[in-house]
Every structure is written in C-alpha cells, then in structure tokens.
Amino acid sequence: MNTRNNLALAAAAVALLAAAAYLWQTHVSPPAAVEAAPPPAIQVEGGRTLRIQPGAPQLSYLHIEAVAALPAPLIEALNARVAYDDNVTARVFAPAAGRILALPVQAGDAVAAGARLAVLDIPDYADLHKADAELRLRRAAFERARLLFEHDAIARKEVESAENELAAAGAESERAHARLRNLRPLAAQGGFALNSPLAGIVTERQANPGMEVRPDQDKPLFVVSDPSRLWVIAELPEKDLARVRVGQSVGIEVDAWPQKSFPGRVLAVGDVVDPQSRRVPVRCAVENPERLLKPEMFARVTLESEGRHLPRVPNKSIVTEGVNDFVFVEKEAGVIEKRQVRLSWRGHEASFVGEGLSAGERVVTTGALLLNAELSGN
C-alpha cells in the first residue's frame, strides 16, 4: 500500500515539474519574431491619388505619355476619301486598237518620263502613213490649182475647193499623229512602244500579255502617279460653308493609323450643293512622303482653327462618370492623380481638353479603367 502511494506521489511530482518547466519557457523565453507585412502595391491617398510601388504588377498594364497641344477643330470631322492628285497622275489608254506583245513593268515599279510601259501591235498604224500621203497629195493639188488660177486657166472656186481639201487633209494628218503620239516604232520587236507621259510609280496595271486593247476602254491600261502627293475629298454640310476657306489647315485621320493625324490644307471648295445629301465637296491636299495613305481609303477631315491649340488625348484615356470626364495624370514617378477635365471637342479616336490639363503633362493613355477600379475599390 505504501509502495503504491509512493509511486503516485512520484508521478505527481514529475507532472508538476513538467508543467512548471513549460510555464517558465512560455513566460520567460522571448517570443518568436513576427515578419512585417509588405506594403500594398497601390496605395490610395486623399481619394484621388494613387501611389504605385516600384515593381508593382499593375505597372505593366499602364502606358503613360506626354500630351501635345494641337490646333483645335472647328466642327465635327467630315467623312472623306483619299484620291489621286490629278496634277501628278497619268491614266494611260491604248491610243489605237491592237494587241499587247510585251509588258516590261509591273504595278509598284518606278518609271521615268518616257519609260516604256508596253509593246503593242497596232495594225491601224498604217492610217498615219495614209493620212500623210493624202496631205502631200492635197498640197500638190492646191499648188497646181493656185498656179493655174494665176494664169487665168481655172476659176477661183476650184482654187478654193483645193484649199479646203488641203485643210481637211491637214486636220486628218494632225489627228492621226496626235492619236499615235505616245507610240514609237520598235524595229527589233516589230511593235510599237507605249510610253509613260510622266515620272512616277505604276500604281495600277490593267493589262496582260496578248490582251486586245482599244482606245475606248472603260479603264486605263496603266495609272502612273506620284503617291507622295494625294488629294482628300471631303463632304462639307451646307450649314458649315462659312467655316471653311481655301488654304485652311486640316487634320486627316484614317482607320489604318488611328493614332496619327496627317496635316493638309484646303485646295478648293465646290460651287454646287448636292441636292440629295445637301453637302459640298471640299478638295484637300496632303503630303504623303511615307506612303502610308492609299487612294480610295476612307478618311476623316477635321477643319482646324487658327491660333487656338488645345491638349489632345486619346479617348481610351478618358473615364466618364455621369456628366463628368476624368483623366489620370502622372504627378511624379509612381504617383498618379485622377483629375476632372472639360472636353472642348470629342472626336472619333481622340478628344481636345478645354480645361483641366496642360500640354506636356503626362497622361495614362492605357490602363485608365484599371486605375479607376482601384480607386473605386478603396
């Protein structure tokens, strides 16, 4: 009995020692170090300012660029199309009926003035020699009639008749020469060369080897033009006629280059209003040194005001809330402010800011909606 009591007391003593050791370790030993939580990638300050930490993943979705001040538009952009500049464009037809023997050029080739475009077989070329022979015959007949009249051998009316026949033969010879002026005989190839009347680029070729050609074809065989100079034909509403004048600066935009505006100027304003659309054609000139614009492209023409320049921002950088518009402006590296602006004019791809933004300030052009969501979630 005593033995069992002694064992129980020993076990209780061991348990008390273990409990005491645990309590001593818990209260005496220093607590384990707690790691500090990293700051959030984006911090909101004052409700409209975001501070983005360096290396934050959101930075990869943002594109920030400085805004430029451009001439403010006068009216809404006009629908237009790009066209050839007819002053530097030649549409080459076959001057006579015949057949194509050779085509030394392709569309896109650069040619000099007088360069060979095609070699033609022209059976009617003999008409030129016939006309020249008829002219020589009529000239000799007129000279003979004049001499006879001077010696009173024939009446005046016969001289006048010979003179009229000479004039008709001369006109026919001139017509034949003019019709075949662009053709040059090629002895080696047995045909006639059709040459380019001006230097430029062969932009179109509607010709194939062996093709039969006629001077009255609907489409030209070749179009040779200088693509660095183009026209843009816009349609101006009748009510806006007072806002446009010859020489006025315009901005030209196309869907192929949405972030680029091509400068141009007004060359001419139509004199007749279309009775169906109530619009007047406006012809503009545009320089195209990089050849980005192509004839028959659809375009938008904006009439620009003189002396009034405003910051131009892409529409994707604008956040609209109710009737208010906002943009995100970079104040310094990693600090972006949501700022209310007043738009002076909203366009198809970009808008002009009348108040709230200055030229040269850096605006978030991609990722504005992401930043706005970060603000709304805080």
Which whole-number Å values give the CA distances from 255 to 239, 259, 339, in the listed order? Answer: 27, 9, 29
Task: Tell me the two tokens of residue 88.
Answer: 């530097």
Each residue's pLDDT expressed in tens, for the chain with a length of 378 residues: 455 555 555 666 656 666 555 555 555 445 544 555 566 677 788 778 888 888 778 777 888 999 988 888 888 889 999 999 999 999 999 887 889 999 999 999 999 998 999 998 877 666 666 777 888 888 888 888 888 888 878 888 888 888 888 888 888 888 777 666 656 666 455 578 888 999 999 999 999 999 999 888 999 999 999 999 999 999 999 999 999 999 999 999 999 998 788 999 999 999 999 999 999 999 999 999 999 999 999 999 999 887 788 999 989 999 999 899 999 999 988 889 999 999 988 877 788 999 999 999 999 998 888 888 888 776
pLDDT of residue 270: 94
Packed helices 126-150 and 156-179: angle between N→C axes, nearest 10 degrees: 160
Q: Are 299 and 83 in contact (CB under 8 A)?
A: no
pLDDT of residue 166: 85
196 CB burial (10 A radius; 0-12, 13-18, 19+): buried
Q: For the chain, what is the total number of helices (H) and then of strands (E)?
A: 4, 24
- Phi/psi region, residue 47 (left: phi>0; alpha: psi -120 to 50; beta: rest), is left
pLDDT of residue 2: 54
Ordered structural domains, the chain, with CATH: 49-71+309-376 (2.40.420.20), 78-86+226-307 (2.40.30.170), 92-224 (2.40.50.100)
The helix or strand, by DSSP H or E, that contains position 272, with its residue range, turns out to be: none
Sign of CA dihedral 256, 261, 263, 266: positive
pLDDT of residue 182: 55
